[in-house]
Amino acid sequence: MRIGLKVNTNRDEGYACAYKTAQAVLKHGAVPVLRPEDSGVFPSLDGVVYEDLLKADPDVIISVGGDGTFLATVSEYGDSDAAFIGINKGSIGFLAQIDEDRLDECVEKIVSGDYRIINRNRLCVQVYSKDGVLKGTDMCLNDCSIGRGAKLHTVKLLLKVDGQVAERFIGDGLIISTATGSTAYNLAAGGPILMPEMRDMIITTNCSHTLNSFSYVVSPDSTVEIVVEPFETPPLICLDGRDFVDFEDNDRVIISSCEKPLKTIAINPEGFFSVIRRKIIMKGSFYENG
């Protein structure tokens, strides 16, 4: 088995956690693969391979950082056939589920195949000009958000689902989320939580200039279209927090479910809602022990 490592050195200073991970991978009989730019960081470890992770064709890719590192890893290598998991060196660690104190135990389970796979839906996002010219296409695991630009003017968006007008929105923006992203920006904006295996898409308003806010949950087979109505300051579009394209009046954003899901490793015996309570709800709770 080949296990790729993508390391965020801002989170893992001096490759300390990555070193322990590579040690554990070797100990349990697998081959750790790091990127060429990491070459030579473990001179005392025999058996470490330095190779482009896409060309190396690893069975598993482990991100070392936080949830942001996990999302960046998926963005870069998500087209591979590898299964993904993350070691948490950040704050919440909802996607990066391996805690450092359980590292050896979790690596042993990965090498032995003692885990289950969760196939997670991703969003395919395309932006077209009003003349129908494709301006950009990309994918995201968590969410596509369209919101206020540099001068914080409200945005005006026409929302369509499968060709039907659903809403003409005025406010801070719209969030189109997967089940995976339902516990991120979507949740902060008041949207619903979906089980990670679900393929539905969520459309949630952000600070709508109406007397009520709303969320739509739509079929994974649906196509969501958002028309960016004329503006003074260009709104922003982000995919998993990454800037995407620059908007012009009447650009169209087309969002659909990707055909190929992302394989992620579930290794913790803890249930989904228990994790939500421990890592999200309790972060803002007054109760230390629940």
CA 133 to chain centre: 27
290 lies in some domain = no
DSSP 141-203: SSEEEEE--TT---EEEEEEETTEEEEEEEEEEEEEE-TGGGGTHHHHTTPPP--TT---EEE
Residues 253 and 191 occupy one common structural domain? yes
189 lies in some domain = yes
Determine the Cα–Cα distance for residues 140 and 176; give it in Å rounded to an integer. Answer: 10
Handedness of CA 67, 32, 122, 272 (dihedral sign): negative
pLDDT of residue 282: 59
Determine the Cα–Cα distance for residues 90 and 73; give it in Å rounded to an integer. Answer: 15
Structure tokens at 49: 């391979």
Q: Give bridge partners of residue 257 from the DSSP assignment.
A: 123
pLDDT of residue 109: 97
Residues 139 and 114 occupy one common structural domain? no
289 lies in some domain = no
Determine the Cα–Cα distance for residues 116 and 121; give it in Å rounded to an integer. Answer: 16
Residues 38 and 160 occupy one common structural domain? no
Query: What is the dihedral angle through the alpha carbons of 56, 100, 107, 16, rounded to the nearest 10 degrees?
Result: 50
Residue range 174-218, pLDDT digits in tens: 999 999 999 999 999 999 999 999 999 999 999 988 877 789 999
Which residues are CB-contacts of 78 (< 8 A; sequence separation ≥ 6)?
84, 122, 139, 141, 262
Q: Give backbone dihedrals phi and psi of 102, rounded to 5 degrees, phi first.
A: -115, 15
CATH code for the domain of 23: 3.40.50.10330
Residues 138 and 99 occupy one common structural domain? no
Q: What is the set of active-site residues?
A: 67
Number of domains in the chain: 2
Residues 57 and 72 occupy one common structural domain? yes
Residue 183, CB-side half-sphere exposure with 13 Å CA sphere: 18
Residues 170 and 187 occupy one common structural domain? yes
Residues 201 and 248 occupy one common structural domain? yes
Structure tokens at 61: 């890719």
Coil, strand, or helix at residue 70? helix
152-190: string of b/e by CB count within 10 Å (b at 16+)? eebbbbbbbbeeeebbebebbbbbbbbbbbbbbbbbebe
Residues 128 and 87 occupy one common structural domain? no
Q: Which residue shows structure tokens 């339902």?
A: 182
234 lies in some domain = yes
Which residues are CB-contacts of 87 (< 8 A; sequence separation ≥ 6)?
17, 21, 62, 63, 64, 65, 96, 98, 99, 100, 103
Structure tokens at 201: 């898409």
Determine the Cα–Cα distance for residues 85 and 63; give it in Å rounded to an integer. Answer: 7
97 lies in some domain = yes
37: burial class by Cβ within 10 Å (0-12, 13-18, 19+)? exposed
- For helices 16-27 and 103-112, the axis angle rounded to 10 degrees is 40
CATH code for the domain of 208: 2.60.200.30
148 lies in some domain = yes
pLDDT of residue 213: 75
Residues 247 and 140 occupy one common structural domain? yes
Q: 223 is in which domain, residue-wise?
A: 123-257
Residues 72 and 141 occupy one common structural domain? no
pLDDT of residue 212: 74
65 lies in some domain = yes
Per-position pLDDT tens, the chain of length 290: 999 999 999 999 999 999 999 999 999 999 999 999 999 899 889 999 999 999 999 999 999 999 999 999 999 999 999 999 999 997 777 888 899 999 999 999 999 999 999 999 999 999 999 999 999 999 999 999 999 988 888 999 999 999 999 999 999 999 999 999 999 999 999 999 999 999 999 999 999 888 777 899 999 999 999 999 999 999 999 999 999 999 999 999 999 999 999 999 999 878 888 888 877 765 554 444 44
pLDDT of residue 277: 84
